[in-house]
Amino acid sequence: MSCTSVSSFTASLFVPSKSSSFSNHKRRFIQCSLGGAVVEPKALAEPLLLNAVRGQDVERPPVWLMRQAGRYMKSYQIICEKYPSFRERSENVDLVVEISLQPWNVFKPDGVILFSDILTPLSGMNIPFDIIKGKGPVIFDPIATAADVDQVREFSPEGSVPYVGEALTILKKEVDNKAAVLGFVGAPFTLASYVVEGGSSKNFTKIKKLAFSQPKVLHSLLQKFATSMTKYIRYQADNGAQAVQIFDSWATELSPVDFEEFSLPYLKQIVDAVKQTHPDLPLILYASGSGGLLERLALTGVDVVSLDWTVDMAEGRRRLGHDIAVQGNVDPGVLFGSKDFITNRIHDTVTKAGKGKHILNLGHGIKVGTPEENVAHFFEVAKAIREPFESSFSVHILGYGASRKREP
């Protein structure tokens, strides 16, 4: 895919109000060989994404996509052929920067996320692991006892993952505030799930056995991860990350009462500690399948709750309240649909999210095999949105699964 810069006059996808200044607004575009165009961002004092999270007036919702750097891109596949090891790709500064910038160079998202993995800190914590093609994460010595937990070291990012800091510093310079540079970490319970289960799991029987038969052992492990991830977030922020997303992918395997014991306290501890040293750093929390835990996710104190696609955006807004920002939540499968279908789903999501404090994203990462031209279309449509929410917001009508607009 190649892109060239062109100028054009744009009309809004949504009809603006009479007072709107966005009709006939001259913008600069990047024209891509796959078709369509995305707006070329201008350098700002603060990236659009940060302004939106802080509740400032923005011309449109910022947009980026989870797993936007990855296997659906031909340019990434070429790198994989040359460097087949995921750990080599994610632990080499030059490769991390190149891969992180691939979607930026083509789509110009409003967030540029570090190419890495939530398990990257494990080696520095004395937990040997690998990520094997076709199998996923493998923990060579799964944790099962108090003695195993005693062998886990607290994480020192400066000594263990200096390439992460170097890559973030370069990304911050390359992106030059035209987008927000995003870091990320794994949440304590999710990291514990991997190291206790020995990798990915379908039933999570080992971590639950440990939780319910030896809770003190699990709490000891969770505390080490909480302390370590606090350090890791601070390290990423100090080296260029302008927002950090916390992935608690497996917390939703817990019942609400168990979430309150084994996940929520440690998430809150991380957020509270980070806010003491980095009060202006936006923290985003994502947990897939979190519909039953939304209100509890907000109790962590994060700035943004990222919704997956199983939650209606308007209902999620109602449950969380408008004081907290939301991210999401288009079904990743939508990107396999027609361009008209993709457009309609984007409009529906943005309208239901209402005005302000919304980051447009998917409800999960981009799927392997997603057509790259459909991703380009997603960004083209998203970046052309202008104030669809200026004079109304959506209210979900429970029982009917529909939404309507209510005038203020």
Q: What is the phi/psi pair of residue 92, to 5°? A: -110, 120
User: How far apart are the C-alpha atoms of 240 and 238, rounded to whole Å?
Assistant: 6
CA 240-245-249 angle, 5° bins: 150
Task: Please state the φ and ψ torsions of residue 177, each to the nearest 5 degrees.
Answer: 65, 10
Token pair listed for 351: 């309208």
391 belongs to a structural domain: no
4 within a domain of the structure (yes/no): no
Residue 395 covered by a domain: no
Q: Of 364, 366, 359, 381, nearest to 335 (Cα)? A: 366
Report d(CA 249, CA 265) in Å as an integer: 16
Beta bridge partners of 243: 182
- Decide if 75 is inside a domain: yes
Q: Let me know: does 386 contact 22? Beta carbons within 8 Å.
A: yes
What pLDDT does residue 114 have? 98
* Separation between Cα atoms, residue 335 and residue 353, nearest integer Å: 20
**Rounded distance between C-alpha atoms, residue 22 and residue 24, angstroms:** 6
Residue 250 inside a domain? The answer is yes
CATH of the domain at 59: 3.20.20.210
- Residue 406 within any structural domain of the chain: no
**Is 403 contained in some domain?**
no
- Please tell me the pTM assigned to this model: 0.85
Among candidates 107, 111, 106, 82, which has minimal Cα distance to 94?
82
Q: 39: which strand partners?
A: 29
For the chain, which residues score pLDDT lower than 70? 1-44, 387-408
- Model confidence pLDDT, tens digit, residues 273-293: 999 999 999 999 999 999 999
Length of the chain: 408
- Per-residue model confidence (pLDDT) at position 142: 97
Instruction: Indicate the number of domains in the chain.
Output: 1
Which domain, by its residues, includes 152? 48-384
Residue 10 included in any domain: no
